[in-house]
């Protein structure tokens, strides 16, 4: 299973007394090893894309939500537009599809290793190319349900609690029940597993790649803005594997998903924006990027 090197420690500035902009600037300056924060010159959004088998699962003929492949096509355009507005480069990295985690392992041990390494190499490539700020998230329907299953298992939180009771945004009561059933069954399958075995069994290749990317970016002393429940879960896994990762992270936006809130609480992160995104999570990081840039320019 993957092994990580402990990352350089970065002093936490979460409770800076001068306000949020000053806190962001102080954190960025520490990451840059500078007296004051320097304006960002090459921000890059790296988004790990992959299908989740549970997106096709149904219980009594009802799936996990109302989203479709047409929504994903629209999201790609939205993300490209947001990246252009934020003056950030963007790259989608394709990952293998995950199996339905309620009935089968998400991936093989070999796929797990390969996708963690995929994340490592992506971070190295970006840093070596001059990126001074990274944003990362996932892209694919069902990622938040995978995040709920993994966070539920590693924190021993019950399925109903890790999913909450949200039925807004087109999610019906029956769709919510389908999600609960899938998460419950996935968590039961992983009940006797620990560490990376949990990720292999009820995670996804894109989750593994996110863990590798976040951990390696921190090792390379490059700050990262994370967005969405799956990236938040990956950050928790990266911190547990390589203590110190969380010091290099900031969170983009809020989400109605309890798994994300639980992950951010464990990491000690407070989202920069309160957009309450329930889909297309990369937009949260891209929307928050100008705030980080402003903090640097005003420091």
Average the pLDDT over 223-232 and give the result: 98
Query: Which pLDDT score, from 0 to 100, does residue 169 have?
Result: 66
Is pLDDT above 90 for 37? yes
Taken in order of first residue, the domains within the chain and their CATH numbers are 39-298 (3.40.50.10210)
Average pLDDT over residues 263-282: 96
pLDDT value of residue 3: 76
What pLDDT band is residue 286 in, cutting at 50, 70 and 90? very high
Token output for 51:
């299908």
Compute the average pLDDT of residues 287-299. Answer: 94
- Return the pLDDT at 16: 53
Do residues 285 and 227 touch, judged by C-beta distance below 8 A?
Answer: yes
pLDDT value for 45? 98
Are residues 133 and 43 in contact, defined by beta-carbon separation less than 8 angstroms? yes
Full-model pTM = 0.95
Angle at 270 between CA 237 and CA 262, to 5 degrees: 45
Confidence of residue 165 (pLDDT cuts 50, 70, 90): confident
Give exposure, 252-291, as e/b (b: 16+ Cβ within 10 Å): bbbbbbbbbbbbbebbebebbbebebbbbbbbbbbbbbeb
Please state the rounded mean pLDDT for residues 39-67.
93
pLDDT of 9 > 90? The answer is no
Q: What is the mean pLDDT of residues 203-229?
A: 98
Please give the radius of gyration of the chain, using alpha carbons only, rounded to the nearest integer.
18
Cα–Cα distance, 153 to 186 (Å, whole number): 9
Structure confidence by residue, pLDDT tens digits, 63-118: 988 888 888 889 999 999 999 999 999 999 999 999 999 999 999 999 999 999 99
Are 235 and 267 a contacting pair, CB within 8 Å? yes
Q: 17 or 252, which is more confident?
A: 252
Q: What is the average pLDDT value for the chain, to the nearest integer?
A: 93
């Amino acid at each position: 299973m993957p092994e990580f090197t402990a990352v350089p420690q970065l002093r936490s500035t979460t409770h800076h007394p001068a306000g949020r902009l000053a806190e962001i600037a102080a954190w960025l300056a520490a990451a840059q090893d500078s007296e004051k924060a320097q304006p960002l010159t090459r921000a890059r959004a790296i988004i790990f894309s992959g299908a989740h088998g549970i997106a096709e699962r149904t219980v009594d003929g009802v799936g996990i939500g109302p989203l479709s492949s047409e929504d994903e096509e629209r999201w790609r355009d939205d993300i490209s537009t947001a990246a252009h507005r934020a003056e950030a480069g963007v790259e989608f990295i394709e990952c293998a599809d995950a199996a339905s985690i309620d009935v089968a392992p998400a991936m093989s041990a070999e796929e797990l290793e390969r996708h963690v390494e995929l994340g490592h190499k992506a971070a190295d490539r970006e840093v070596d190319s001059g990126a001074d700020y990274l944003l990362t998230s996932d892209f694919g329907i069902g990622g938040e349900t995978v995040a709920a299953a993994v966070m539920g298992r590693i924190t021993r939180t019950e399925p109903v609690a890790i999913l909450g009771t949200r039925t807004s945004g087109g999610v019906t009561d029956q769709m919510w029940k389908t999600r609960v059933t899938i998460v419950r069954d996935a968590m039961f399958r992983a009940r006797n597993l620990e560490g990376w075995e949990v990720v292999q069994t009820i995670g996804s290749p894109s989750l593994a790649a996110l863990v590798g990317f976040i951990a390696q970016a921190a090792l390379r002393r490059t700050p990262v803005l994370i967005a969405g429940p799956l990236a938040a879960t990956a950050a928790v896994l990266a911190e547990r594997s390589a203590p110190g990762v969380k010091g290099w992270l900031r969170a983009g936006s809020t989400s109605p998903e309890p798994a994300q809130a639980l992950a951010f609480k464990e990491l000690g992160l407070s989202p920069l924006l309160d957009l309450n995104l329930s889909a297309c999570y990369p937009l949260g990081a891209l929307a928050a990027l100008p705030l980080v840039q402003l903090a640097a320019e005003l420091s």
